[in-house]
Structure formats: structure tokens, C-alpha cells
């Protein structure tokens, strides 16, 4: 503030900067910010950053795409992987993104990269229950076999 006051009094910027232990260019930047926005222009501000790759509408469309799942006839996959989604994003919106970026987008959308295993369409739940090693029939056979071999 003292350096700005010296400049406003008419002192050269280099002299005002030297008296306040700062670089002339820094003081010059401060003067420009002060002239543009007053004292409020001197507050520290964050950089706006780069524009996001996907708009909000595109992110919503990506979320719906993931929730609906792929169509094997069109996409040639049975479940989405980040690599598959990367190719689909490039095809739909001409945006090249890394697989880790796709994973980050899924996290932002409240989704996960983990996918359940696909189920066979002819799966029989009754046969699966009989086959399980935790079924009562298996446990009963196991306990009989176990006690017979230990004696």
C-alpha cells in the first residue's frame, strides 16, 4: 500500500519499488490492478484454470451411457472399461482423454470403474445353489467324510 501511495504522489515506479523492497515489475502490475479495480483488485485471486473437456450436458450424457451399458451389437463390448469409454467419448465428441481422466470423470459422476461380472444368459440359479460348496448337502457330506477320516 505504501508503494502505491508513493506512485500516486508522483514518484517514479522504480524508486517507489526500491523504497519498499520490491521489484519494479511487481509494483507496475499492482498499479494496473489498482487502476482497474481499486483496492479490491489487489486481493489475491485464484487462476480460473483451463476449460473442462466436457460440458455439463456431455457429462450427463456420459453418465446415462454408463448406466445404460453398452450395446454389444454397436459397441462390440459386453461391459464398459475406461478404454472403451475413452473410444466412445472420442467418437461422440471428438475429445481425446486419458483412461485415468475417464476414471476421474466417473468418480465425479458418482460412478465407479469397478464393474460386476457379466452373467451368462442361460445361468440356472438352482443348479448354482446345488453346486455351491456352502450348500447344506455339501457341508453334510464334508462333515461325514471329515469325521470318518479322523477316526
**Residue that is written with C-alpha cell 460440458 in the block:** 55
The chain-wide mean pLDDT, for the chain, equals 86
Q: What is the DSSP letter of 43?
A: S
By the 8 A CB rule, do 77 and 88 touch?
no
CA dist., res. 35 & res. 105, Å (int):
41
Q: What is the pLDDT of residue 97?
A: 94
Q: For the segment 25-69, what is each residue's pLDDT rounded down to a tens digit?
A: 999 999 999 999 998 888 888 888 889 999 999 999 999 999 998
CA dist., res. 45 & res. 29, Å (int):
14
Q: What is the pLDDT of residue 99?
A: 94
Q: What is the pLDDT of residue 64?
A: 94
Question: What average pLDDT score do residues 94-106 get?
Answer: 94
Amino acid at each position: 500500500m505504501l508503494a502505491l501511495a508513493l506512485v500516486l504522489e508522483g514518484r517514479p515506479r522504480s524508486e517507489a519499488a526500491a523504497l519498499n523492497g520490491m521489484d519494479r515489475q511487481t509494483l507496475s502490475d499492482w498499479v494496473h490492478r489498482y487502476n482497474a479495480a481499486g483496492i479490491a483488485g489487489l486481493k489475491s485471486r485464484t487462476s480460473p484454470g483451463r476449460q473442462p473437456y466436457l460440458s455439463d450436458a456431455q457429462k450427463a450424457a456420459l453418465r446415462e451411457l454408463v448406466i445404460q451399458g453398452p450395446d454389444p451389437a454397436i459397441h462390440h463390448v459386453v461391459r464398459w472399461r475406461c478404454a472403451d469409454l475413452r473410444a466412445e467419448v472420442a467418437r461422440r465428441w471428438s475429445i481425446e482423454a486419458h483412461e485415468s481422466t475417464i476414471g476421474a470423470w466417473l468418480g465425479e459422476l458418482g460412478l465407479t470403474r469397478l464393474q460386476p461380472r457379466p452373467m451368462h444368459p442361460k445361468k440356472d440359479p438352482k443348479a448354482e445353489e446345488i453346486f455351491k460348496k456352502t450348500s447344506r448337502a455339501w457341508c453334510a457330506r464334508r462333515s461325514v467324510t471329515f469325521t470318518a477320516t479322523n477316526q
